[in-house]
Structure 1
Amino acid sequence: MPSEILFSTFGGPEVLEWTAGAEVPEPLPSQVVIVVAAAAVNALDATRRAGELEGILTTFLPSVIGREAAGVVIARGSAVTDVEVGDEVLGFTDTGAYAQFAALSTYVRKPDSLSWAVAASLPVASQTANRVLNQLELRAGETLVIAGGAGAIGAMAGQLALIRGAKVVATVNPADLLYMRSLGITAVRYGHGFGRRVRSVSPNGIDAALDTSGARILPELVQLTGDPARVVALSDRSAEFFGVQLSQSDPATRSKTRLRGVADLAAAGALSVRIARTYPLSQAAAAHRELAGGGVRGRLVLVNGV
């Protein structure tokens, strides 16, 4: 009998329950239905589980969370012509990812060389990274500083910025310095005095900045760039006060073309995704507890044994 991770009340990781009796979705004309092989865990999943998005995004309980997954197509809608039953795909879920079965309308074929865990970790981070780089109007030859550069979105944005021909400087935990440098990204230690350290490795100045950290450092980033319009924040609600752009997710901007390009780059070894740990799908609560504990280096991924 199909199972899924449900939460019927807002709260901590303990509200996530492995529940039998789930229904297999029926695909709409533009959807495929997959048996989920892997579902990536995102910070936004935990925020939604805790009820912290109410007022911004309504959650109808009980609910299944998760926005990105990879798996094998078992059904397709009447308008789908780009994949067949039995194909392996990755993409954004329309029905929640923490389940044995999920429906997707924005998906692409999974390259054979990609692991399930890496494939499931690509959609959200790559969509967000491309969105913020476009908001910043980043051009080849410019220098971008990323605060919190070792996280899933920061590392993805840094690598995509390099591919666009920009130079990237990231502020990170000292434990992540070598990882950043392995990606070709100049890294400096975060914390007090980070602006001075950024300037020391950027003699020609900083053109744009991305804050993934939410660490109340927007004034310093505006000072580094000299222009609040060239600073984007992902989670700092004080952005408007400083004239900084706050980048927010919009499902309407999801693109199969961009997702296919990212998947191809990852398959070719031009993009790297760090996987910290995998958990059985039934242990989603344990994955959320690890996420809440902080210090996770890489993605946490739920796997379904496909």
Structure 2
Amino acid sequence: MDALRPSVMMSQLPFPYPKEGEFTRFREARMHLDCLERWEDRVHFSRACYDLAQVGTRGITRLRLMEGGDWLIHPYFCRRQKTFFVVMQLADWPIHRRYPWGTWPEELIHDTWQDFEGEAGVTLKRVIAEVLHRAPDLKALEEIQREVARRFVVDGCYQVARDLRNDERYPFLTALSEDEQHILDEYLALRLARGRAHSVELLLVSWMRFSATIGSTRCIPEEFAEYLYRRDALEEAVQELPSPLAKKLETVLSEADEQYRSATIDDGGRTFNKSGLVDADWWWRRRPTSGPLSDMIDKRLRHQEAPEEQE
């Protein structure tokens, strides 16, 4: 093999075929780019690799930073090297290039493969130019990453809300009219604009589950506080949603609240040091009467108050 000729090591690609598949013999092969140009199954094989690169080997959709008609870019963390990379995958060529994140776009600009005179080099040069147009420096790349991550969170929030509306375990949500669903979608958009990433549907279901299991839950006090913050958010929703929908929400919420009351006692806010806050809502002033969480709270309070007793 000529070391000076650019080549692709197939074992470094997301291999798309099972052990007994039609391209098994290429699994450990090394193929030069000029040979790939003449390979009649190149596009078919490359497209399969490309599709697999989009979902990853575990079937989880990758967080794609950028994509064109025949290429995509995604982030990758190499555990062995403890380094973040930007990975570029071509659709019609089995080319999988990694560039260190921290020095972007230096290695991309100086990628010698784009100097290859064949069709692969021409394609790679074009793709590199398109990528650099979108992310000419590290600041631009990081901005793209933030926007993609934000969109990933936003899409996930709406998907969770839709899934819960179709969950027969929660008849209040499955009974929502189209108009009410639209109102909740608009309210989720408002919450996201405020930097809050949970829908009313998720907040309500999580509070219902917690209230029903507070006597047996093994969550830690910090997680307990997170549920109480979610109850705060539900109270805010009751105040801000239109009256008919807010009334329905309040009815379901009151049932969960009653379960919470029956499994807790008033401790004056001692658990979370809210006893001095006159406006602390009643759920912050209660704690479980028994169970693993109650035991953990007792242990933590004894530890926190021991120095005061000694003084």
More helix by share: 2
Larger relative contact order (Cα-Cα within 8 Å, sequence gap ≥ 6):
1
More strand by share: 1
